[in-house]
């Protein structure tokens, strides 16, 4: 399968040390199977940081996800488990990961979901209310997280 990364810089070599903390699944390299999603993320990055939108494509053998060679976590959709996981990772600004997964596949916390997570974080809604609110949000978009060197080695730039 082909996965895409949207940025304001060309990705010639993936450097996990360049990744920022406080992201949905922690510090790592994020990709999408949807090219248009990567284009939009690149445009968003340019709006904040300047530069030109650049989409880099990578080939990925998706059989790795079920091979047992790497530790993989899959979130099929928005759920309480996913919300807790994203909340905890978005609150972690240290260099240490909160999990030991090599690859994670799951929904992106888009603006609508992000607003609900912020409401939960601010104490304005309970975890149960967060779960109810995200359950009915439409337009789920998914992302792939590659968080270890072993995971990065499964990607081939094309």
- Is the per-residue pLDDT at 130 higher than 90? no
**Could you state, in order of their start, the residue ranges of all structural domains in the chain?**
2-157
Does the pTM exceed 0.85?
yes
Do 87 and 134 meet the contact criterion of CB atoms below 8 Å apart? no
Residue-wise pLDDT tens digits, 102-117 = 999 999 887 677 788 7
**Please, what sign has the CA dihedral across residues 147, 152, 156, 158?**
positive
Do 90 and 24 meet the contact criterion of CB atoms below 8 Å apart? yes
pLDDT band at 145 (very low <50, low <70, confident <90, very high): very high
- Give me the mean pLDDT over the 27-31 stretch: 97
């Amino acid at each position: 399968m082909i996965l895409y990364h949207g940025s304001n810089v060309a990705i010639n070599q993936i450097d996990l040390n360049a990744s920022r903390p406080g992201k949905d699944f922690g510090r790592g390299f994020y990709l999408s199977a949807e090219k248009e999603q990567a284009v939009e993320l690149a445009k968003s990055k340019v709006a904040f940081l300047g530069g030109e939108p650049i989409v880099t494509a990578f080939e990925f053998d998706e059989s790795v996800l079920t091979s047992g060679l790497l530790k993989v976590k899959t979130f099929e959709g928005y759920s309480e488990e996913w919300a807790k996981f994203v909340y905890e990772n978005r609150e972690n600004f240290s260099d240490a990961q909160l999990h030991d997964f090599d690859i994670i596949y799951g929904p992106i916390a888009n603006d609508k979901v992000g607003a609900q997570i912020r409401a939960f974080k601010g104490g304005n809604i309970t975890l149960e209310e967060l779960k109810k609110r995200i359950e009915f949000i439409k337009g789920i978009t998914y992302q792939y997280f590659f968080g270890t060197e072993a995971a990065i080695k499964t990607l081939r730039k094309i």
